[in-house]
A = this chain, B = another copy of it.
């Protein structure tokens, strides 16, 4: 041990992690062969015996590939990113969770990007993702109906596609990416028909943000089903948050509008509507029914438990990750660009037939 004058740092810190060279050395093969044996190289087969030797060495040394080294060489990182409007919104939290869980099964980590509903933030996130060369970007929420913004977004996703990254949407977007989406239009129509079938004719619709494509699809579904039955809804604008739902109901009540049911474009607003009705001393569902959309975790714990449209959040997330994986492995060509996942009416206790003495009148 003549020149083993180790630096103090090397002396104290734990041994550096094993690299591929270490494995190659132990197995008595070259770096290239070790790499080929550990990966699936289709152009250069490795003899079974060599492969076994290398794998044994890797196992013995507890070798794990360094994603940064590979990432630099391959041109992209084995990492997914999920872009959400707001992570504290239960819809997005659950989607992000499910995405991360499925990605993890594929050995990939997941970056979350919560724009907190600021388009600027979303754009800068996209830029950061693109220069970080993440393997895939998944858009959990719907797109904005703003051509300028779409163009900026497209610039970044083009850059991502240019290095071989995958881009997948999980809600309607104008950008023509591959898309795994819920049946917003059909679900909305079914929700409207559900209230109709209970006997409601005086229905208030709380819409989502008007710039959001998801809102549009749902509003259209509501309107069409209602129109078919000759019902003209009371319209109120919301923003997909509970307080937005509260304000919408408050405004309706203040204007003295009559309605026996509220059709909210998402569960968050339905929760706010419920709360505001109860604050006004209006009983749900005896005087007014409330219907939500999404079936986010927790709405079965409201009082009354919320009737809603179940969007298969987990299935959407899994499908999106698998689509991304397929694109990355070049096996996505036979998939239709847009796949619409069916939704389900969940009839809980917040909906009932309207009271015989029709309608509630604002104060």
The closest CB in chain B to the CB of A75 belongs to: B68
Whether A301 contacts B278 by the Cβ 8 Å rule is: no
Whether B242 contacts A301 by the Cβ 8 Å rule is: yes
- Taken together as a complex, chains A and B put the C-alpha atoms of A274 and B301 apart, in Å, by 9
- Taken together as a complex, chains A and B put the C-alpha atoms of A88 and B98 apart, in Å, by 9
**A148, CB-defined interface residue at 8 Å:** no
Say yes or no: A68-B77 contact (C-beta < 8 A), given A93-B87, A111-B109, A298-B242: yes
- Residues on the B chain within 8 Å of A100, using CB: 87, 112-114
Whether B114 contacts A101 by the Cβ 8 Å rule is: yes
Among the 9-residue stretches A46-54, A126-134, A228-236, A256-264, the one with 4 or more Cβ atoms under 8 Å from chain B is A126-134
The closest CB in chain B to the CB of A284 belongs to: B303
Whether A86 contacts B97 by the Cβ 8 Å rule is: yes
Contact count band on A: 35 or more
Whether B271 contacts A301 by the Cβ 8 Å rule is: yes
Partner of A131, one of B17, B88, B101: B17
- Taken together as a complex, chains A and B put the C-alpha atoms of A55 and B121 apart, in Å, by 24
**A7, CB-defined interface residue at 8 Å:** no
Partner of A109, one of B67, B86, B94, B132: B132
**A272, CB-defined interface residue at 8 Å:** yes
Q: Would you give the shortest CB distance from A28 to chain B, in whole angstroms?
A: 24
**A66, CB-defined interface residue at 8 Å:** yes
- Chain multiplicity (copies): 2
- Residues on the B chain within 8 Å of A303, using CB: 274-275, 278, 303
Whether A275 contacts B301 by the Cβ 8 Å rule is: yes
**A71, CB-defined interface residue at 8 Å:** yes
Q: Would you give the shortest CB distance from A7 to chain B, in whole angstroms?
A: 14
**A158, CB-defined interface residue at 8 Å:** yes
Whether A272 contacts B301 by the Cβ 8 Å rule is: yes
Would you list which residues of chain A between 92 and 121 have a CB under 8 Å from chain B? Answer: 93-94, 96-97, 100-101, 104, 107, 109-114, 116, 121
**A69, CB-defined interface residue at 8 Å:** yes
**A64, CB-defined interface residue at 8 Å:** yes
**A13, CB-defined interface residue at 8 Å:** yes
- Taken together as a complex, chains A and B put the C-alpha atoms of A252 and B110 apart, in Å, by 42
- Residues on the B chain within 8 Å of A128, using CB: 104, 107, 109
**A199, CB-defined interface residue at 8 Å:** no
- Residues on the B chain within 8 Å of A114, using CB: 97, 100-101
Whether B97 contacts A88 by the Cβ 8 Å rule is: yes
Would you list which residues of chain A between 282 and 334 have a CB under 8 Å from chain B? Answer: 297-298, 301-303
A to B CB contacts below 8 Å, 17 in the list: A16-B162, A64-B127, A66-B133, A67-B132, A86-B97, A87-B94, A88-B90, A96-B112, A97-B114, A97-B116, A100-B113, A100-B114, A101-B116, A109-B132, A271-B298, A271-B301, A302-B302
A residues adjacent to B (C-beta < 8 A): 13-14, 16-17, 64-69, 71-72, 77, 79, 81, 86-88, 90, 93-94, 96-97, 100-101, 104, 107, 109-114, 116, 121, 125, 127-129, 131-133, 158-159, 162-163, 242, 271-272, 274-275, 278, 297-298, 301-303
Q: Knowing that A93-B93, A302-B302 are A-B contacts, what are 7 other residue pairs whose CB atoms are under 8 Å apart, sorted by A's residue number?
A: A17-B131, A66-B133, A68-B72, A96-B112, A109-B129, A275-B301, A275-B303
> 9 tightest A-B contacts by CB?
A93-B93, A87-B97, A64-B131, A14-B162, A88-B94, A68-B71, A109-B111, A68-B72, A13-B162
